[in-house]
Amino acid sequence: MNSCPCGSGIDYAACCEPIITGKTLAETAEQLMRARYSAHVVVDVDFIYESTHPDFREGYDHKGTKIWAEKSEWLGLEILTTEAGGAEDQKGEVEFVARFRNDDGTRTHHERGHFLRKGKEWLFSEGEMVKPRPISVTKIGRNDPCSCGSGKKYKKCCGQ
């Protein structure tokens, strides 16, 4: 079994490959998002371009996208939320995190992608970067259980 890069747990040949090769259309915005991520992994930049709504293709850098996809090690896709984008919708939004490693180190791409339906086909329109949320810090008392999960008191574990 060749697991799909999109993280669905389904075989690539039954998941994103038929969408990328044009054998089937994505039924939902999320399916298209997953296929676009997988297209980066398999370096199919033609699909990335073609799955972008024509009104939003201006400025697309085909060569730069190909070089970036080839030089990156793709570490995974996490779908956080999906709003609309179902089989009966005309618009959809998918919030996701894509992780990859390149010459600059390990990177996290957190985006809210917008999708439009044109006829029966879902197309990516635009994305907006999601700013990191502030980290919530809870103070750990010396006698509290250690946050590392050891089961020991903090003072006898990581607090030493």
- Overall size of the chain counted in residues: 160
Residues 6+ apart with CB under 8 A from 59: none
**pLDDT top residue among 12 and 144:** 12
**Mean predicted confidence (pLDDT) in 48-68:** 96
Confidence of residue 34 (pLDDT cuts 50, 70, 90): very high
pLDDT at 152: 79
- Domains of the chain in start order, with CATH, are 12-129 (3.10.450.50), 134-160 (no CATH)
% helix, strand, coil for the chain, step of 5 = 25, 30, 40
Report how far residue 32's alpha carbon sits from residue 122's, in angstroms, rounded to the nearest whole number: 7
Are 153 and 146 spatial neighbours (Cβ–Cβ below 8 Å)? yes
How high does pLDDT run on average in the chain? 92
pLDDT at 47: 98
pLDDT over 90 percentage in the chain: 79
Neighbours of 150 (CB within 10 A): 12
Tokens 């607090």 correspond to: 159
Confidence of residue 5 (pLDDT cuts 50, 70, 90): very high
CA of residue 23 relative to chain centroid, distance? 22
pLDDT at 131: 83
Q: Is the pLDDT assigned to residue 86 strictly greater than 70?
A: yes
Mean pLDDT lowest among 1-5, 25-29, 51-55, 120-124:
1-5
pLDDT at 1: 58
As a dihedral over the C-alpha atoms of residue 19, residue 36, residue 111, residue 96, rounded to 10 degrees, the angle is 60
Write out 4-73 in H/E/C secondary structure. Answer: CCCCCCCEHHHCCHHHHCCCCCCCCHHHHHHHHHHHHHCCCHHHHHHCECHHHCCCCCHHHHHHHHHHCE
What is the tens place of the pLDDT at every residue in 99-147? 999 999 999 999 999 999 999 999 999 999 998 766 666 677 778 887 7
